[in-house]
Amino acid sequence: MPRKRRPEGTRAPNGSSSIYYSETDGYWHGRVTMGVKDDGSPDRRHVKRKDEGECRRRVRELENERDSGKVRKPGRAWTVKKWLEYWVEHIAAPSVRETTMVGYRASVYRHLIPGVGKHRIDQLQPEHLERLYARMQKNGLKAGTAHLAHRTIRVALNEAVRRRHLLENPAKVAKAPRLDEEEIVPFTVDEARRILDAASNVRNGARFIIALTLGLRRGEALGIKWSDITIAWKHGCDKGSPCRRKQDAQRCGQRRGSGTLVIRRAIQQQVWKHGCPEEKPCDHRYGAHCPQRHGGGVVVTDVKSRAGRRTVGLPQPVIEALEDHRAHQQFERERARDEWEEDGWVFANRWGRPVHPTVDYDNWKALLRLANVRNARLHDARHTAATMLLVLKVPLPAVMEIMGWSEASMAKRYMHVPHDLVTAIADQVAGLVWPDLDA
């Protein structure tokens, strides 16, 4: 059916779209009013196509975007390179942790900008990203590196959508490389006991006792100060005994302690940055080797999340281990004399400063060898602590508080069902369904 013509001498309503052919350039032109610009003038978008049908189709698309409220900001779209540079330096940098920024910058400057940076963000397709990930792996990079690049551009383009520079995020559609997750095997009760026994005989061993029993993150454990620990002692001897009359509870040979630990801060190792000027750079590739390096080393930061700021209870053996550690630290303080830098750190080096994370890692590996336990990550101790809470049937809300989780879904990642629990459940099922077996 032919399009109905408007009566002669009348005009289209204000704001309506228009389509016309120009003999000057031989193109069909469409103009669509999308809204109002920041200065109050009409936001009138222009479409130009050789074919009338294509022009009308694009005009309808713009009208649908306008009617649905999904309207890209006026003006030429940013390139992927320009947006990623702005996002990583001006949006992400002030709001995320420094360790997160290391991964963001590596993905942006080493992989994403060289790979897809010349595209306009409104013309970037999922296939462009998938081909980039394939090239990265073909060039010898691990799937995890490509996966990090995928997560980075997904976050960056999500922000572009929120700011109406983009209508849809192609990274949400693109398929990221498959990651074969490493199977985490928590320590058995026997392995945990051997580690705890060995830790009681090494310097700063209480730090690993806390790791296994409380499941603190590495930075959280190294960031504890003595002011974060509160301990209350009670007599363990009989009422009316001479011990109760002559000395306080802390000196009782059968004392019982209860205490809490408040997690307030964390110790992190940050990457050094170049301090040399761009016009006269140093010859070193890494910032750590730059003569004018800055911003790196061991720093004190906030905990990982709001849920990470928490209070946990201290079991009696952990309290005793901390008291033994306090006495040994006092001996080291006296021996170091003026070289000791007193800042209240529970786990310090021989001069009172925080333990470097690399040293902490080496100490953990040495402890595993001393305990004759299989090689494992330090973070596996956190998995072990969470699994112990599962075995003890601690309610999930309490587990989340102890572990510092903000989402219940973290339980699936950290709490593993041990073999002993599997067999115990099987025995319970047998006793319920076949009660005669116990007769």
- Give the active site residue among 110, 328, 379, 416: 379
Residue 202, classified by CB atoms within 10 Å of its CB into exposed (0-12), middle (13-18) or buried (19+), is middle
The answer to whether residue 361 is catalytic is no
For helices 143-162 and 126-138, angle between their N-to-C axes, nearest 10 degrees: 160
What DSSP element (H or E) covers 302? strand 297-302
> 285-295: string of b/e by CB count within 10 Å (b at 16+)?
eebeebeebee
Quick check: is 245 catalytic?
A: no
Of 207, 217, 235, 274, catalytic: 217
Q: Do domains 80-172 and 189-264+303-373 have the same CATH topology?
A: no
Pairing between β-strand 297-302 and β-strand 265-270 as defined by DSSP bridges: antiparallel
379 is catalytic: yes
Burial of 146 (0-12, 13-18, 19+ CB in 10 A): buried
Annotated active-site residue in 150, 405, 413, 434: 405
For residue 15, the model assigns a pLDDT of 59
142 is catalytic: no
Nearest in space to 47 (alpha carbons), one of 36, 56, 38, 39:
56
Q: What six digits make up the tokens of 270?
A: 């940050």
Q: Say what the pLDDT of residue 14 is.
A: 58
User: Which entry of 273, 309, 356, 416 is annotated as an active-site residue?
Assistant: 273
Q: Could you please state the CATH topology (level 3) that the domain comprising 80-172 is classified under.
A: DNA polymerase; domain 1 (1.10.150)
Please give the pLDDT value at position 1: 41
pLDDT along the chain (439 residues), means of 10: 53 68 87 71 80 86 73 71 93 87 92 94 93 95 94 95 86 90 85 94 95 93 95 87 85 88 90 80 80 81 83 93 95 93 94 93 96 93 91 88 89 83 77 70
Task: Please report the pLDDT score of residue 37 as a whole number.
Answer: 67
Is the pTM higher than 0.85? The answer reads no
Q: Is 5 annotated as catalytic?
A: no
189-264+303-373 belongs to which CATH class?
Answer: mainly alpha
Pairwise CA distance, residues 273 & 292, whole Å: 9
Q: In whole angstroms, what is the distance from residue 356 CA to residue 221 CA? A: 12
Domain map of the chain by residue range?
Answer: 18-68, 80-172, 189-264+303-373
217 in catalytic set: yes
